[in-house]
Amino acid sequence: MLDKEPLTLERATPISSRELLWSAVFAAAAACGAAFMWGFTVDDALISIRYAHHLASGAGYRWNADGPSTDGVTPLPWPFLIAALARGPALATLARVKALDVVLAAASAALVGARAASAGPAARFTALAALATCLPLAAWGASGMETPLAALLCTSCVFCMNRPLAAASFAGLAAAVRPELLPWAATISCGAALARRDPPAGVMGASALASAPFAACALVRRFAFGRFAPLAVLAKPSDLEHGVVYAAAALLACALPVLVVAPRAARQLPRAQVAVLAAFAVHVLAIVAAGGDSMPYSRLFVPVLPSLLFVHLELVRVATGPAFWARTCAALALAGYVASVAAAGGRSVMRDRAALVARAKPLLRGDARIAAVDIGWISAAAEDAHVVDLAGLTDPEIAALPGGHTSKHVDGSMLLDRRVDAIVLYVDPLPDAFRHAVGAHLARDPLVTSHFPRRALLPLGAAGAGYVVLER
């Protein structure tokens, strides 16, 4: 296990055939995991796709083609990046973006494989096993979201830690894609410079470079939309209690953090890997402060997970054998358990959403004005409709209302003022257990009950959930 020389982040020679081989092996493992979870996606993926469709068609960066330009996508550059894929029906575009995600996820794993090539067999094969069994990496690797791009940028940063400016550039781009990564980006950029014992000016320069893309996005938002922060910050107020619960659950669900829980061995790590661990700790605190996330499979942790495998590859050289195997077995057992209990539900999401869209198309007119909380699939079922976002993610007026993400104080008078033709509300179980507070409130609103009789029930999957369609 200690038969190889210590890993280094320096690269003095071109990539070797051995590195190419292990890059391919790790990339294949990531691609297989993403293929296994191909059926997973989230409603927000279709929100970005609608923005991308409007960019591709010339309508501009807007949620509704006949509405104002709004800041409805937290990763501001993402719709521009996928606009070239945004042709034809929304679900077809989603499939293309998911395929892109698989490629990006495989590229992140390939970088880990290139570094693993110079590690001993124990480190190499345990890293491969941890990568292959990590359910959050697999699920988000084919989600249709920007998460794999953020992961690739974070992994590229750690891969080239010997070049602080390059590392800072990748870290900064990652923070532009996922704003909550800014503390991680600043920490790891400073760490890369300190690891090379750069002078204070170099450390400050790396930190500034890592912050520049984030600052550029904030300035664009200020001039285009009137505020520096993404609209989601206003629509989904942070909650420290939820942030703590989310972070604790995610640390276990991701399993990979268990690989690097080695306080004594960490003292013997090279400075670069210490910087990776410090940045990860800062990221955990940032997620807690942000209030966590409402999406499954620990989305906000996924971008930084591959970087922990670099630390694992080095820890095996400085940790004792029993401690290494104890951590590794615990991580793999935890990953296996999470996959066994949580993978099945995610694999059917795409199929269930496609069936829901097909059922809804005959009911939702393309020229209608439709109000809903889950607006992504609505936009796929009625692509030309004007969709009113009851959660406020794409609507500044509703985002500013009191309440949380699914509990905005929207009432019937507002919907009548906006000339809404139909309201689509989530229920679980059918027919009238409204799971969102805003849905329960609207269902009791006298103006809604008098103007919007129930027209249809749309089942979602086989678990008894679905949507109620109220039509004016």
Intra-chain end-to-end CA distance of the chain, in Å:
70
Domain range for residue 295? 17-347
Residues 343 and 467 in one domain: no
Written in H, E and C, the secondary structure of 431-472 is: CCCECCHHHHHHHHCHHHHHHCCEEEEEEECCCCEEEEEEEC
Residues 300 and 386 in one domain: no
Domain-embedded: residue 1: no
CB atoms within 10 A of CB 57: 12
Distances 113 to 27, 140, 141, 171, 201 between C-alpha atoms, Å: 8, 19, 17, 20, 34
Strand partners, 465: 460
Asked if residues 303 and 158 have their Cβ atoms less than 8 Å apart, the reply is no
Determine the Cα–Cα distance for residues 73 and 365; give it in Å rounded to an integer: 25
Determine the Cα–Cα distance for residues 304 and 49; give it in Å rounded to an integer: 25
Rounded mean pLDDT for each run of 10 residues along the chain, 472 residues in total: 43 74 98 98 98 96 96 96 96 98 98 94 94 98 98 97 93 97 97 89 90 97 96 90 96 96 89 95 96 95 97 85 89 97 96 96 90 97 96 96 92 96 95 92 95 95 93 93
Residues 52 and 194 in one domain: yes
Domain boundary among 294, 312, 347: 347
Domain-embedded: residue 359: no
Residues 182 and 330 in one domain: yes
* The pLDDT of residue 66: 93
Residues 149 and 250 in one domain: yes
The candidate with the shortest Cα–Cα distance to 409, out of 417, 401, 418, 399, is: 401
Residues 432 and 324 in one domain: no
Domain-embedded: residue 355: no
Tokens of 311: 């630390």
Residues 217 and 142 in one domain: yes
Asked if residues 423 and 405 have their Cβ atoms less than 8 Å apart, the reply is no
Read off the amino acid at residue 106.
A
Domain-embedded: residue 164: yes
Residue written as token pair 């020679």: 13
Residues 40 and 165 in one domain: yes
H helix and E strand count, the chain: 22, 5
- Number of domains present in the structure of the chain: 2
Distances 285 to 180, 246, 422 between C-alpha atoms, Å: 10, 11, 42
Determine the Cα–Cα distance for residues 226 and 70; give it in Å rounded to an integer: 10
* The pLDDT of residue 91: 97
Domain-embedded: residue 324: yes
Tokens of 451: 């103007």
Domain boundary among 319, 347, 375: 347
Residues 285 and 414 in one domain: no
Residues 152 and 75 in one domain: yes
Residues 460 and 422 in one domain: yes
Exposed e or buried b per residue across 441-466, where buried means at least 16 C-beta atoms within 10 angstroms of its C-beta: bbbebeebeebbeeebebbbeeeebb
* The pLDDT of residue 316: 83
Residues 286 and 391 in one domain: no
Domain boundary among 293, 316, 347: 347
